[in-house]
Every structure is written in structure tokens, then in C-alpha cells.
Amino acid sequence: MERLYTIPLRKEFRKAPNYERTSRSITAIRDFVKKHMKNENVKIGKYLNLEMWKHGRKNPPARIKVKAVIEKEKDVEYVIVELPHIKIEKPKKEVKKKEKPKEETIDVNVDEHKTEEEKEKHEVLQHEIHKETQPDMKIKPQKQKIKEKPMIIGRTSKK
């Protein structure tokens, strides 16, 4: 069943503070559709929502034309409310696709990486052993630089 309504919103949103006017208008649309379509499950359409919030939360439209359609899905019956010129589409069900296992490719990369790391470790160890066997080379100790405190210009304490 499909019906067209012009919903007056001004009387409803005037009851709310100005920063809650648009959200109050959305509730007024829900209540109106619940009453007139005699159904508790109401879904507001995407484009109707955008139209309501177009001028911000403080300035909703005074009245709006909507199209209400009753949809049935399995055991549940609900009403979809949308702008009159918008075609109402049923919500699409998500189809789960089987994913290919990516773990195998990751394991191969990890194994290659491990072998590379092992080779590097082996080279480093060989290099260190080679350094220890040559006592002729002396390593000069590096001098530590002493950090000086920056000079303070002007007053240093409060009087």
C-alpha cells in the first residue's frame, strides 16, 4: 500500500527548543506515519532525512510532502517514508563472499624475510669475530659532549 501525505511540522517543532527543532520534526514524522498507517515500525528514507536536515538543526521545513509505503520482509512489516519523487528500494541483503586464504602468501613472505634476517645476523657475527681476532685495530673512545645550560637573559625570579 502506498499513500501520499503532507505533514504539518510547525506546531510540533515549536514545542521544542530551537536547537532540537529538526530532530523533533523527525519524531513528528514518525508519530504521524505511525498514526495514519497503523504500523509501529517506521523507517525514514535517506533523501527525506537529507531534506529535513538541509537547513541545519534549528530551521526545519514547516511542512513536507512524503510518500509512505508498507513493505513486508519475512515476518516483519514496516513502513518506509520517503520524498514523493524518489523511488523506494528495498534494503539489499549483504551476500558474504568466500575469501581466499591469504595466510599462505604471508607465511611465504615471512619465511623469506626470516632467512634474510638470519643471513644478516650471520654476516654481523662473522664481522664481529673477525674484529676480535685482529687486535691491531684500536677503537678510540668517543668523548661525551657536556651540554651547557642556555643563558638566561632578563629576570629569573618573580618579585
pLDDT along the chain (159 residues), means of 10: 93 93 94 93 93 93 94 90 86 68 55 74 75 60 67 67
Query: Across the beta sheet with 63-73, what order do the strands follow?
Result: 2-8, 63-73, 76-82, 42-44
Q: Which three cell numbers stand for residue 45?
A: 528514507
**Was domain 2-82 assigned CATH 3.40.80.10?**
no
**Whether the model pTM is above 0.75:** no
pLDDT at 158: 64
Give 67's strand partners.
4, 82
Provide the 3-class DSSP secondary structure of residue 24.
helix
pLDDT at 88: 80
pLDDT at 3: 92
Provide the 3-class DSSP secondary structure of residue 17.
coil
Q: 65 CB contacts (<8 Å, ≥6 apart)? A: 4, 5, 6, 7, 83, 84
Torsion of the alpha carbons at 25, 30, 36 and 37, rounded to the nearest 10: 150
pLDDT at 100: 63
Q: 18 CB contacts (<8 Å, ≥6 apart)? A: 58
Q: What is the CA radius of gyration of the chain?
A: 36
Candidates 15, 46, 50, 9; CA nearest to 31 is 9
Q: Which three cell numbers stand for residue 149?
A: 645550560
In the chain, which ranges are E strands?
Answer: 2-8, 42-44, 63-73, 76-82
pLDDT at 47: 93
